[in-house]
Chain A
Amino acid sequence: MASENSNDFDAIVVGSGISGGWAAKELTERGLKVLMLERGRNVTHRHDYVTEGKAAWEMPFAGQVPESLTESDYAMQNQCYAFSDYTKHFFVNDRENPYATAGDKPFTWIRGYQLGGRSLIWHRHSYRLSDLDFKANKLDGHGTDWPIRYKDLAPWYDHAETFAGISGSLEGLPQLPDGVFQPPFPMNCVEKDIKKNIEAAFADRNLIMGRVAHLTEPTKEQMALGRSRCMNRNECQRGCSFGAYFSSLSATLPAANRTGNLTTVTDAVVDSVIYDGDSDRASGVRVVDANTREHRSYGARLVFLCASTLGTAQIMLNSTSERFPNGIANSSGTLGRYLMDHVGGVGAGGVFPGHQDKYDAGRRGAGLYLPRFRNVTDKDERFLRGFGYQGSAYRLSWSRGDNTPGIGSEFKAELRQPGPWGFGMAGFGEMLPDERNRVWLSKNNKDSWGMPILEIDCEHRENELAMLDAIATDAEELLKAAGLTDITVNRDKAAPGLMIHEMGTARMGHDPNTSVLNKFNQTHDVPNLFVTDGSAMASSACQNPSLTYMALTARAAATAVEMLQEGKL
């Protein structure tokens, strides 16, 4: 292992989630000796998917987490749709990992501290941003202009999709560029009817199959990494031994490991980046052992921070020096600011009359997507930017019995049959970058590894609230046009954080005075320090962001290696 400030490694990658995995793959494949540091425990692909394939009756509480444990240890994580007794070992313990929020402003921080991070438990929807998104800040003046445009990232989206394996359909929509896709999952008959009805009623709206990181027709490269096609279990967040969905464990880390250039150290909490004033470079990182609490440091010529939006912000803010008293690479003072999430939770559902003689089989892990249609060609007077929806059609299950009067043999016979077809959809909307939405380090409270905890001050403001209102109203209108009955509209918005698309605390920009990162995710201030997770985002767009992190990371890694070889770092 590396000793204090030695340069045993060419590069250090902090974090092993979607961004960290990509950084490790791209850097090792270019010949760099890479050290990956993960704060959580080791997880071995397949071996540690301890609940995979288990049926409800094979779980101690049929999959439900004991109530007192939920209350004491998982108050935040329990709010995530994917949290259950089948998956709780891939979520953090909230009691052991505290953070603070400002006043009465909730922020739900969903985390997975283990090798693979949240790539094990993500929702897998993968969409490109378009120039509608990259130009948005410049156009309406919120946030700082993205220093890149779609053409800069397009080849890296190709690269990311080809390797990760994204299934989806080619649609030719300008606001949601097509990519390199494996065959899409099929729509069921009700979804096809709803698509037809919506597209007939609205010229500007499309209902498409979701683009998801599931293999439907694996490539030779994917098969060589031990991955195979999706088996339609829809139990992804327990881990998938088929390697059918993209995760660091199924894809990027095996690719990095086969180069022979990757060293992985788990249970290593990165406390800070070491800044060397003489060379004006990051010389390595300080680490606290998660179990022994012993301190040590690692050195390298290049540092990639991929510790998640808030994790990276916390490390950078905690990396102080004479030159950077307020956090490394923070000469602009924007570090920790412009925190965004998507807005959502709001949507609508109903019953689709018809197709009572049809059923589907298999548990498709992908839903549908209704791409953004507001502020695409027309200008909406109520709010800036836009939103999309995810949804799906399914026959109601036995659980409708909870909401149906009845007991006894007739009731039982009724619930044996599938119920009517239901359809539900929920919005994902863009949040404006706002300086007031920010995080900082607590002056008084430290966690058990000695790190000052994060304090988060984030709220939905006028534009977000107007958009949430439109998401609900439009959902109802869409479902009426789709031919649904018994429509119910859910207007209960998710608290900031709960969409689990937090981003923006170390934003990219042209100007070193107003942004942390340049167009290559390189910090303006420290040339050999790169940040490629969600914190780099200058705006949130409304698409699920992980694919963009993959593309940004791959592009930054390629650039960093070039710079290193040219002696510029």
Chain B
Amino acid sequence: MTKLADNSTLLTRRAAIKNAVALVGGVLTATQLSLLNEAVAANVEDAPPRFLNREQYSMLSRVADLIIPETDTAGALGTGVPRFIDMMLADWASPQRQERYIAGLDHIDKRARDSGASSFSASTTEQQMVLLRALDNEFFAENPTDPFFGELKKMVLFAYYSSEIGATVELRFQRIPGDYLPCVPMADDSHAWFWSQYNYGL
């Protein structure tokens, strides 16, 4: 491993590394495989959301899509970000956070209506982008009046880059790096490495 692997070889390497981990540690378990299967199942968009109602879920999906759109790689929708966030709200989040999400999504919708639309979802893409950019700028202002958009954006980024496609196609990931290479020349299009985040403070 003297130079950085590009993304096309990474997926094959990853498969090989998975086998290596299994040989060394016996850590690929049935539970893990079932988790992978669940992750695939979670991408099936016609399953009803578990925490949000359909309208809130649709709005969340739209916001996530606008924050991380599909480009030459999959975006938030193609990586199951809305499903993941809905699952986190159902199974991971505290009641306080659940309340913040309901109120926060409602507030975004109200802002859309304040500017003349019948709802956020009924607005044009341009109107939606203008509103989200305004909310983003407000979050970074001195004393943000409504910090929810910052919280939501953080969750969308976490969900996207922690997904398999986010970590291994959009970014790069080595399960077992082997060596530490301290100073490697970087091409202009080198993707950043993905690191697992421990106590992330979402």
Q: Which residues of chain A have a CB within 8 Å of any CB of chain B?
A: 46-47, 49-68, 71, 78, 81-84, 86-87, 185-189, 191, 231-235, 241-242, 355, 357-364, 395, 397-399, 401-402, 405-409, 411-413, 415-419
Return the contact of A416 from the options B91, B162, B170, B186 (Cβ within 8 A): B170
1/0 per position for B54-84, CB-CB distance to A under 8 A? 0000000000001111010001000000001
A405 to chain B, nearest CB (A): 5
Contact B175 A55 (CB under 8 A): yes
Contact B25 A56 (CB under 8 A): no
What residue of chain B has the Cβ atom nearest to residue A230's Cβ?
B180
Contact A188 B136 (CB under 8 A): no
Which A residues lie within 8 Å of B196 (CB)? 55-56, 63, 86, 235
Q: How many residues of B contact A (CB 8 A)?
A: 74
Stretch at the interface among B45-53, B101-109, B110-118, B152-160: B152-160
What residue of chain A has the Cβ atom nearest to residue B24's Cβ?
A241
Q: List 10 A-B contacts (CB under 8 A).
A: A47-B26, A62-B197, A63-B162, A65-B199, A66-B91, A358-B185, A361-B184, A397-B194, A412-B170, A417-B192
B7 to chain A, nearest CB (A): 11
Contact A405 B140 (CB under 8 A): yes
Contact A78 B199 (CB under 8 A): yes
Contact B21 A408 (CB under 8 A): no
Question: Contacts A64-B200, A71-B94, A359-B190 given: A58-B27 contact, CB under 8 Å?
Answer: no
Contact B92 A61 (CB under 8 A): yes
Most chain B beta-carbon contacts within 10 A, residue among A49, A61, A235, A355: A61
Quick check: is B145 within 8 A (CB to CB) of the other chain? no
Return the contact of A84 from the options B39, B161, B198 (Cβ within 8 A): B198
Contact A61 B21 (CB under 8 A): no
A424 to chain B, nearest CB (A): 15
List residues of B (154-202) whose CB comes within 8 Å of A's CBs: 154, 157-159, 161-164, 167, 170-171, 173-186, 190-200, 202
Contact A81 B198 (CB under 8 A): yes
Return the contact of B66 from the options A188, A399, A408 (Cβ within 8 A): A408
Question: Contacts A82-B198, A398-B171 given: A405-B4 contact, CB under 8 Å?
Answer: no
A486 to chain B, nearest CB (A): 16
A188 to B180, CA, bound (A): 9
Which A residues lie within 8 Å of B21 (CB)? 52-53
A355 to B39, CA, bound (A): 38
Which B residues lie within 8 Å of A191 (CB)? 182
Return the contact of A233 from the options B91, B170, B177 (Cβ within 8 A): B177
Contact A83 B180 (CB under 8 A): no
Contact A359 B186 (CB under 8 A): yes
A31 to chain B, nearest CB (A): 34
Contact B136 A406 (CB under 8 A): yes
List residues of B (7-44) whose CB comes within 8 Å of A's CBs: 18, 21, 24-29, 32, 35-36, 39
Contact B180 A397 (CB under 8 A): no
Quick check: is B137 within 8 A (CB to CB) of the other chain? yes
Which A residues lie within 8 Å of B193 (CB)? 361, 363, 397, 418
